[in-house]
Amino acid sequence: MSSVTSDLIPIKSTTRTIQDCFRSCLYVVPNFQRPYSWDIDELDDYWSDVVLAQGDFFFGSTVTWESESRELFNNSYSIIDGQQRLTTSAIILSVIRDAFLLASESGGGADLDELRSQAKTQVNNTQRYLVAEDDDGKKYPVIDRNEPNFKEVVQNPHAIPSGRKWNGSARQIGVAREYFEAMIQKVVEGKSLSETVETLKSLRNNVLKARLIQVELTSEEDGFLVFETLNTRGADLRLADLVKNLLVRGGATEVEDRETISERWERLVDRVQTEAGSMTSVDQFIWQSWNSRRPATTEAELYKKILELVTGSTEAHLRYLEELEFDSIAYQFLDDVGLVIDKSLLGSKSALAVPEVAETIRALALFNVSVANSALLAVVRKFEKTALMRKKDLIAACRAIENFHFQFTALTNSGSTGGTRGRYNRFAVELEAAASRAAVQATVDAFRLRLKGSLPSPTATKKAFAQLFYAPKARLTNAQKRRSRKQFVAYVLLRFAQHHNSMTLGQDLTAWTIEHIRPQSKSSREIESPEYSIGNLALLTSEANGELRDGDLAAKRPGLRSFVPWIDSELSKWIGDSAKHEVLASDITSRAEVLADLAVDNVWSID
C-alpha cells in the first residue's frame, strides 16, 4: 500500500485482486459516471487476457472514493474510473454461476449426485462475489448499478422482472452476458460433468486472480475533477461522458439535486441514443444541437466551448441542460423512415405535427442524410418557441431541404457535405438571431436561394432520375441498390401523386407495391432492361396489386385506370389508346424522360 498527497488531491493506492475487491469492498457507480459500454472488441480482449490467462494478469487501475464506511462490514467506494473492468468481471461471474447451476441440474444416474452437489455449492460460492451478506443477514450488491438487467439477471436471477425498458447501457450489459454465455458454452461443450465443474472453477479463478491498483481519493469533488482527465481501457472519455459530468457537478451541490440532473440526463440519452446503444449518437446530437444555435465548431473543440458557455453559475449549467432537453424531443425522430409520432410526446405547438415537416424527416432518413439536422432543429425550435415563424415559412424551409437532398444526394450523389454543413449552420445561426416575422421570412428566403444555387445541373439531375429502376430479382451492386430500393422508388412515385393532390401525406411506404407495366418476364435480367426502368413503373396498394391482371397492356388497362393513384400524361396516353396492346421500349424511355422533367422542374424544385 502506498499513500501520496499531491498539491491538490490526497491519494492512496492499494494493489488488490478482483477477489479482494469483491470480498472486502462494495462499489457504487455514481450518477455522473458513463454507462456500461464495452463491446465485442473489448470483451474479446478481456476473454483472452483475463479469462484464459496462464498466470496472474495486471488489469489496470480503478479510481474511487470512500462514500460510506461501516463497522464490522465492507465500506462502499464510489467508482470514478474502472467501472467497465469491475462490471465486466461481475457479468462473467454471473454467467459462470449460471453454468454451475445448469451443471447441478444435469441428468444422469445416482453416481453423479456428488458432482451435482459440488456444482450446486459452486453456484452459492460464486454468488457471494456478486451479492455480499453481513453478520445479520442483510444483503448488499457488490456493485450497485441502476440498469434493471444488472440487478435482475447478473446479481439476482430469481428476481421478479421489473419490466423496465433497457436503455443503451442495459443493452450493452445484455451483449456482454450473451458473449460470455457463448464463449463458456464452447469451452465446456462435450465435457463430462466432472470436467465441466473443474473447467468452470478454473475460469472463475482466472477472473478472481486478475490484479489491479485501487486508487482512493478522499472526496466526491476530487472525483469529479479527476474524472475529466481519465481514460478507460482502450477508449478516451466520450463527449457525452464529459458533458454529463460537467452538468451534474456544476448544476447542483446537493446529492438529491445531482440525482435529479442525472435522471434528466438519462431520459435525454434514452431519446437520442440509437437502438445499438452507441454513445456516438449522443455525441453527434450534442454537436448538432450546438451547431443549430451557435457558430459551428469541430467535435474536438466542442467540450471547451461548452465549458466556456456554462462557467460561472449553476444557472448556466441548467440552461444548457434545458437546451439539450428541448432539442432532444425533435432529434429522437430524425432518423426514422417509418416515422409515426406519438402526439403525447409533443407540445401543444409542435412542428413535427405539421405533415410536411414529418414528411421531410422521413425523406431525409430514406436518403440517409443527417447533415441537415442542425437546420431542422433550428426551424423546429423557432416555430415552437416563438410566434415569429409562420407555418408557411416552416414548410418552405423543410421542403427546400428535402428537395435539395433529393437532387444533390439521392439522385446525383454530388460529393462532400462540408460546404452543405456550413450552409446549414449559417442558416441556423441566422434564424436563431431573427427577431421579427419579416426577418425570419427573409432568412428562410435567402436560405432557399443558397440551396437552389448549389443544386447540380438540371441536365445531370434529369439524367440520373431517368436511370432510376426497380429490379427486385436482379443481383445488384451496392451502388445500384441505392437507386433501386423499393422504399425509395415508392417514395418517388408517391411524391408525384402528393404533388398533384391525389394522395395525402404520411403514407406508409411499405404498404405499396410497384407494378412493372410491361411484364418483368420480358426482361433480359440485366438492370438496363427497359422493363425495370422508372418509365415502366406504377404504384399500387398491396390490395390493388391482386386485382391487376397479368399480361400485356390490354389486360392491365382496367386495373391501371382504377388503381394507380396518379396518372401522368404518358401513362394516360397508353391507357387511353385502346388499340395499344403492348408497351414498347421506346415508350418506356419517353415516359422516363417526361417524369424526369416533371421531377426536376416541378415536384422537387426549389422556387
Q: Which residues contact 111 (CB under 8 A, 6 or more apart)?
A: none
pLDDT of the residue at 340: 66
pLDDT of the residue at 6: 45
pLDDT of the residue at 137: 92
Interval 257-264 mean pLDDT: 89
Cβ–Cβ under 8 Å, residues 441 and 434: no
pLDDT of the residue at 5: 43
Share of residues in the chain with pLDDT > 90 (%): 57
Interval 568-585 mean pLDDT: 94
Q: Are β-strands 75-81 and 58-68 bridged in parallel, bridged antiparallel, or unpaired?
A: antiparallel
pLDDT band at 66 (very low <50, low <70, confident <90, very high): confident
Residue type, 224: F
pLDDT band at 475 (very low <50, low <70, confident <90, very high): confident
pLDDT of the residue at 10: 62
Burial 279-306 (b: 16+ CB within 10 A, else e): bebbbbbbbbbbbbbeebbeeeebbeeb
Q: Which of 265, 373, 239 is nearest to 317 (CA)?
A: 265
Beta bridge partner(s), residue 143? 27
Question: Is pLDDT at 216 greater than 60 in this prediction?
Answer: yes
Q: Which helix (H) or strand (E) holds 30?
A: none
**Signed CA dihedral, 211, 217, 218, 223: sign only:** negative
> What is the rounded distance in angstroms from the CA atom of residue 275 to the CA atom of residue 252?
31
- Model confidence, pTM: 0.72
Measured at the CA of 518, the angle between CA 515 and CA 522, to 5 degrees, comes to: 115
Question: Is pLDDT at 231 greater than 50 in this prediction?
Answer: no
pLDDT of the residue at 134: 93
Interval 148-170 mean pLDDT: 76
Question: Is pLDDT at 511 greater than 90 in this prediction?
Answer: no
**207-211, 523-527, 547-551 — most confident range:** 207-211
Count of helices and strands (H, E) across the chain? 25, 11
> What is the rounded distance in angstroms from the CA atom of residue 65 to the CA atom of residue 204?
27
pLDDT digits 0-9 by tens, 74-95: 999 988 888 899 999 999 999 9
Q: Which of 443, 317, 459 is nearest to 386 (CA)?
A: 443
pLDDT of the residue at 236: 54
3-state secondary structure of 459: helix
Terminal CA-CA length for the chain? 74
pLDDT of the residue at 468: 94
pLDDT of the residue at 61: 82
3-state secondary structure of 517: coil
pLDDT of the residue at 300: 78
pLDDT of the residue at 235: 44
pLDDT of the residue at 473: 77
pLDDT of the residue at 363: 94
> What is the rounded distance in angstroms from the CA atom of residue 315 to the CA atom of residue 322?
10
3-state secondary structure of 117: helix
pLDDT of the residue at 496: 96
Backbone φ and ψ of 194, nearest 5°: -65, -45
Interval 188-204 mean pLDDT: 94
> What is the rounded distance in angstroms from the CA atom of residue 271 to the CA atom of residue 296?
24
3-state secondary structure of 289: helix
Read off the DSSP letter of residue 600: I
pLDDT of the residue at 274: 67
pLDDT digits 0-9 by tens, 7-49: 455 667 789 999 999 999 999 987 666 678 888 989 999 999 9
> What is the rounded distance in angstroms from the CA atom of residue 466 to the CA atom of residue 450?
26
**Signed CA dihedral, 365, 367, 368, 372: sign only:** negative
Residue 85, all three cell numbers: 473492468
Residue type, 92: I
* pLDDT, the chain, mean: 87
Interval 404-419 mean pLDDT: 83
**170-174, 233-237, 422-426, 469-473 — most confident range:** 422-426
The full DSSP string for 126-144 is: HHTTTEEE-TT--EEESEE
3-state secondary structure of 514: strand
Pick the more confident residue, 374 or 259.
374
**41-50, 526-535, 596-605 — most confident range:** 596-605
Q: Which of 536, 528, 578 is nearest to 554 (CA)?
A: 578
Read off the DSSP letter of residue 410: I
pLDDT of the residue at 221: 67
Burial 416-436 (b: 16+ CB within 10 A, else e): ebeebbebbbbbbbbbeebee
pLDDT of the residue at 327: 96
The full DSSP string for 535-593 is: GGEEEEEHHHHHHSPPSSHHHHHHHHHHH-S---HHHHHHHH-TT--S--HHHHHHHHH
pLDDT band at 605 (very low <50, low <70, confident <90, very high): very high
CA–chain centroid gap for 502, Å, is 35
The CA radius of gyration of the chain, in Å to the nearest whole number, is 31
Share of residues in the chain with pLDDT > 70 (%): 87
> What is the rounded distance in angstroms from the CA atom of residue 183 to the CA atom of residue 154?
17
Residue type, 187: V
Q: Which helix (H) or strand (E) holds 223?
A: helix 220-227
pLDDT of the residue at 1: 46
Interval 162-172 mean pLDDT: 72
Alpha helix positions (H), 454-568: 458-466, 478-484, 486-499, 542-547, 553-563
Least confident residue range of 223-227, 352-356, 589-593: 223-227
Pick the more confident residue, 108 or 68.
68
Least confident residue range of 154-163, 284-293, 337-346, 367-376: 337-346
Cβ–Cβ under 8 Å, residues 247 and 262: no
Interval 221-236 mean pLDDT: 55
Q: Which of 173, 195, 142 is nearest to 21 (CA)?
A: 142
Question: Is pLDDT at 543 greater than 60 in this prediction?
Answer: yes
Beta strands in 206-320 (DSSP E): 211-217
241 by Cβ neighbours in 10 Å (0-12 / 13-18 / 19+) ranks as buried
> What is the rounded distance in angstroms from the CA atom of residue 146 to the CA atom of residue 327?
25
